[in-house]
Every structure is written in structure tokens, then in C-alpha cells.
Amino acid sequence: MTQGGPDDSARRAALGEEPPARLIGAPASPGVVVGRVVMLDRRKVQVPRRHVEDSEVEAEVARLRGALDAARTQLNGIRATLPVDAQDHALILDAHLLMLDDALLVDEAEAAIRTEKVNAEWGLRRSVEHIKALFEKADDDYFRERRSDVDFVGERVLRQLMGHSQEVPKARDGEREPTILVAHELSPADTASLRAKGFAGFVTDVGSATSHTAILARALELPAVVGAQGATKFLANGDRIVVDGLRGVVVLRPNAEQIIAAEERRRRYALFVRSLDAHRDQPSSMQCGTPVALRANIELPTEALIAREQGADGVGLYRTEFLYVDRRLPPSEDEQCEVYRAVVTAMGGRPVTLRTFDIGGDKFSTAFRLPKEMNPALGLRAIRLALREREVFRAQLRAMLRAADAGPVRVMIPMIATVAELRAARAELEAARAELQARGIRAPDVPLGIMVETPSAVFIADLLAKESAFFSIGTNDLVQYSLAIDRGNEHVAYLARPLDPAILRAIHTTAQAARTAGIPCALCGAMAADLLSAPLLIGLGVGELSVDPAAVPAVKAALSRVSLREAREVAARALNLATADEVESLVRETFAPKMSDLLAAGD
């Protein structure tokens, strides 16, 4: 987006009073829909505060419990109406159901009623605010989303207490045009009910593409734009809008030309999705037939099923650190084992790469007391933290080993910088195995591999390859550490180019070392999902790619358009180029004409 361009003026208008022509948000779920708006009016309920007499306390506690029960019944009802193909996502609603029983929420609200002598609404508010305060300091999308989960649950109970209706309305009856829900915010439970209620898409003022709401929207194939600031301010019931879930754009009151353009994009996207269907069930290979393992990166266990549906050949990266956020204590061995087993089972015999927790740097967790560091990205992160928190690390390794009885598991260590760290990690894995055996639990031998994402790992790739079962190159961090660019710093973001010659050479060196040692070399950074980069990576010697589940079909299609020979020729030329621009021009010139349909789908 260029500065001062039309998108900027839309943003400015959204913040001011003048209705903009369009709103820019996050593309939460792909697809395009033109339709009429139904607003969900859910102004924040004012929470009443009332003193209660001693004699009323028990009645207030009973009222709170009654409201919790009613909220539970309501959520169970929504869960039961989830369409069959979205049942796998019921876990998200289960998490809300669990929250209704959470001691932190319930006990604290009851304690407030009893000790402060306040009404049930106020007691509930106290406990919700407290839980949210625990999350307050986080500056992380995933974390923020968990805070909204607490809000969603709190609001649901509060409305029960106050007798307010809160259900999402039905789509407009007798309407020939599709109906689109516009709301300030939608909970996963709201989203789960949208298809059954006849909605064809939705727009919210707030939210991010990594929220559970967005995940459910994708599972339900509902085009959605979230975080479209100003949506509830500038739209009203009956307005016609275009929801472009591919670009994250909402066009307000489109003219005839814009409607035709949107319909054309909708048609093209539908054709594109259909054309990829053929790829979902096919093994991934280059045009010449050379197989390339194409796996999925997942962060939530529920994504394993999406990965499988999208035709992924296993999980190339499970970011297990997401199990550790938004909690005061690390997950137990049993809890982790259950989650890992569920993922392994969902993948039906395809390999699952479980990465040990990568916490620290920009990845938060309340489960650890992390020191405040000047340079957190260079500090106590990933394997460094694991080797300090040995008990937690070992519990995770035990859970991973136990899950290996459900199918093929690979254990992967993040941010390895030295051989000594790899050896220490192996020693921990062996200790974990011995502990299990002492408990009479059989622990299968699992491959232990590493992420190559520090420059030092590239320099000593030959040494690491001798002691690793596999490599997976993490270009997100490799770019950060090699080019000395803070991943989250927008001032230097222009330098963060995975096609930089320094990165290509690092990938090539790593792949060569893996080849010499006879171990597989994967790549799981975001670069692998770039359609023009994917064949180049194979040409550089990478044998497996791991991408977001939604990207699997398109990357599969892109690889099938290029032969291994051509990929190698382009890679050899790229290795002699001097700038990222030159490399980008080369891949564009050589690969883009073969995949113009794939590249155009998201334009």
C-alpha cells in the first residue's frame, strides 16, 4: 500500500465522520460476497452495582450459578448445530464451556459476592476484569484473542443475569440477495451459528485473522473481513456491501460497476477453488514427477484436520508454544500428550513434526517468569529457555514421546545455535525416555531434528547435520538474524526480504550440508508459501516445504507447473545475483507465466 493512497484516505475517513467508500480490515476468510447488511446490535451492557444484605448473599450466588448453567446450555445448543463438516471446530466452543467452569472465574465471582456484598453482575465483572488484567501486558495477537474469549464468556453470562437477548438474528427472510452480518465483534459461538442462520458472510469492527472466530469462518467457508474499523458506525440494516475476504476490503454501497467487478472476483475465486480440488488429493510433485513433501504449519490442534482436508502430507511445524500462552502454569504432561495424540491421530499416519516450545523473543507466555531483556530476540528464547526450565522441557518431551504411539512423530528443536545445544536437547530427550520407561511406559524412538534459523546454525550446518535426523529452515527468523532486522520493527521491514541473496546462499549451504549427511531438509518459514519462491527453494536443494494449511493446494499447484531441472537452473542463476530485486525479477520472469491463474486468484 503506498502512503497517501486511496487506502489511507479510507482509513482516515473511517476514523472521522465522513462515510468512506470502503473499509480496510484483515482478510479473515477468503471469498467474495455482495449482499445486504443485517446489523447485530450488541451495545455493551452497563453492569449494575448493588449492595446486597447478608441475607441476600446466597440468593445472589445462586443467581450467578443459574446464569452459568443457562450459558452452558446455550453454548451446548450452538455446538450441536455446527454443520457436520465444521464439527472438528467444536473444540473452540469447548474451550468456552471449560471457561464457564474455571475456578478463577467462578470462585472469584462468588468470593466477591460474599466478601464485598455485591450483586452477581458486579461479582462476575470483578472476576472477568481480573482475568483480563492477567493478560493485559501482552502485545501479541494470539494473547489478545484469548482476552476476547474471556470477554465473550463473561458477556454471555452477564446477559443471562440481566435477561438481555444476545443471540445473532436470522438472516433477512425472503431476501433474494445474500445477507451479511455486521457486528462490532463476534464470538466463535456467534460465528458457529451463522451458516445455519442463513448468513453468507460477515464483517466486524475489531478482531484479527488469527482469532478463533476467523478460524471458524474459514472452516465454514464464510467470506469475512475482521478489524474493519468503522463498520458498525457507517453501516445500517439493508445497506448493500461487498465483502472481499481475499483482500480484507469492504466496499460500502457499491455502484453497478463495483458490483460487477465483485461478482467477477467471486466467480474467479470459486473457479480457482474448484480448480484446486483436483490437487488436494494428489501427491505433491514437480512437473517432472519428482515428489516434494508438502506439509502444514499449525498453531492450534484443530488446524490438523484443516491441514488434512487441504491435502497436506503431514505437519511440518506444530508451534506448540501456543499451548503455553494465557495460563499461569505450563500445561501438564498428560494434557500435552492428549493434544499431541489428537494431532497425530488426525493426520492419519502422516508425519507430525512437534516443535518444542519457542517462547521468549516476541512470543509471550505467562507460564514462565521471563526476565525483561534489552534484546529479547537475542535473549532467553526457545532452546535457551528450555535448557533453563529443564523440568518443563522434559515434561514436554515426555508428552511428545508418549504421543508417538499414535503415529509417526518427529521432535524439532527451535533456535539451535550450537552443537552443544543440540547435544543437550538430545540428552533431555533421552532422560525423558528413561523416565517414561521407569514408569513402565514404552517410548518409541523418534527422530530429533532442528530448526535452522540462526546464522551460526548455517555456518556449522555440516556439523549439525551429523547429529540431526532432519533440518527445517526457519526463514522468518533466519531473515531477522542474518540481515539484522527486528521481525517486528516496521522501520526496517523493507529489508526483510527472504529472496535476498544472503538468504538464498544460507538456504543453499544448509540444504547441501543436509544432502551430504543424507538427512532431509525442509523449510517452514512463510517464504515456502510464496508461489514464486516455492519452486526456487526446491531448486536450491530443499526437499520438503511446510506452509499454512490454506496455502497447501495453491503451493501444490505451483510446484506441479515447474520441473526440477528448471527449478535448479533458476536457482543456479539466482545464486549469482546481487540483490533481492534481481532475484525477484528472475523468479517472476521465469515462473509467473506458468502460474498466472494462481497468482491472479488473490489479486
- The single residue listed with the C-alpha cell 463473561 is 154
C-alpha grid cell for residue 329?
Answer: 502454569
Cα 387 to Cα 424: distance, rounded to the nearest angstrom: 8
Q: Which three cell numbers stand for residue 382?
A: 526457545
CB of residue 317 to ligand PEP, shortest distance in Å: 6
How many C-beta atoms lie closer than 10 Å to residue 16's C-beta? 10
- In the complex, the smallest distance separating the C-beta of residue 492 from ligand PEP, rounded to whole angstroms, is 17
The alpha carbon of residue 162 and the mean position of all alpha carbons in its chain are separated, in whole angstroms, by 35
How far apart CA 396 and CA 367 sit, in angstroms, is: 13
Give Cβ neighbours of residue 267 (< 8 Å, ≥ 6 apart). none
Residue 431 CA from chain centroid, whole number: 32
Whether residue 64 contacts residue 123, with contact meaning beta carbons closer than 8 Å, is answered with: yes
Cα distance between residue 77 and residue 306, in whole Å? 24
Distance CA 300, CA 346 (A): 13
Footprint on this chain of ligand PEP (rule: CB under 6 A): 317, 319, 358, 453, 474-477, 524-525
The CB-nearest residue to ligand PEP is 474
Q: What are phi and psi of 249, to 5 degrees?
A: -120, 140
Q: Interface with Mg ion by CB under 5 A: which range of 33-41, 147-155, 243-251, 447-455?
A: 447-455
**Shortest distance, position 10 Cβ to ligand PEP, whole Å:** 30
Q: What type of residue sits at position 36?
A: R
Residue 160 or 475 having the CB closest to Mg ion: 475
110: partner contacted, choices ligand PEP, Mg ion, none (Cβ within 5-8 A by kind): none
Residue among 181 and 485 whose Cβ is closer to ligand PEP: 485
Choose between 208 and 287: whose C-beta lies nearer to ligand PEP.
208
Buried b (16+ CB within 10 A) or exposed e, 414-424: bbbbebebbeb
Residue type, 390: R
Task: Select from Mg ion, ligand PEP, none the partner in contact with residue 303, using the beta carbon and a kind-dependent cut-off of 5 to 8 Å.
Answer: none
Identity (one letter) of the amino acid at 271?
L
Quote the least distance from Cβ 584 to ligand PEP, whole Å: 19
List binders of Mg ion among 462-491 (CB under 5 A): 474, 477
Which listed range, 192-200, 425-433, 445-453, 532-540, lies at the site for Mg ion (CB under 5 A)?
445-453
428 binds, among ligand PEP, Mg ion, none (CB under 5 to 8 A by kind): none
Please give the helix or strand (H or E) that residue 212 lies within, else none.
helix 212-219
Residue whose CB is less far from ligand PEP, 74 or 476:
476
Q: Which does 149 bind (CB under 5 to 8 A by kind): ligand PEP, Mg ion, none?
A: none
Q: DSSP 3-state assignment of 20?
A: coil
Residue 427 burial (CB < 10 Å; 0-12/13-18/19+)? Answer: exposed
**Under a CB-based contact definition with an 8 Å cutoff, are residues 414 and 382 in contact?**
yes
89, 96, 212, 279: the active-site residue? 212
We find the least distance from the C-beta atom of residue 306 to ligand PEP, in angstroms, to be 18
- State the Cα–Cα distance between residues 587 and 499, nearest whole angstrom: 10
Closest CB to ligand PEP among residues 99, 555 = 555
Q: What is the dihedral of CA 311, 318, 536, 485, to 10 degrees?
A: 150
Catalytic position from the list 337, 508, 521, 524: 524
Q: How far is the CB of 472 from ligand PEP (least distance, A)?
A: 8
Least distance (Å) between residue 282 CB and ligand PEP: 25
E-assigned strands of 340-464?
Answer: 352-355, 409-413, 448-452
CB of 225 to ligand PEP, least distance (A): 25
Give 360's strand partners.
363
DSSP state of 253: S
Residue 524 binding partner per list Mg ion, ligand PEP, none, with a CB distance cut-off of 5 to 8 Å that depends on partner kind: ligand PEP
Sort 371 into a burial class: Cβ within 10 Å, 0-12 / 13-18 / 19+: exposed
Pick from Mg ion, ligand PEP, none: which does 88 bind, CB < 5 to 8 A by kind? none
Q: Point out which span in 56-64, 164-172, 401-409, 452-460 binds Mg ion (CB under 5 A).
A: 452-460
Our CB check for Mg ion shows the closer of 303 and 453 to be 453
- Known catalytic membership, residue 524: yes
Nearer CB in complex with ligand PEP: 119/365: 365
244 touches, from Mg ion, ligand PEP, none (C-beta below 5 to 8 Å by class): none
Give per-residue burial for 440-477: e unless 16+ CB within 10 Å, then b: eeebeebbbbbbbbbbebbebbeebbeebbbbbbbbeb
- The smaller minimum CB distance to ligand PEP, of residues 203 and 209, is found at 209
Residue 319 interacts with, from Mg ion, ligand PEP, none (CB under 5-8 Å by kind): ligand PEP
Per CB under 5 A, residues contacting Mg ion are: 453, 474, 477
Residues involved in catalysis: 212, 524
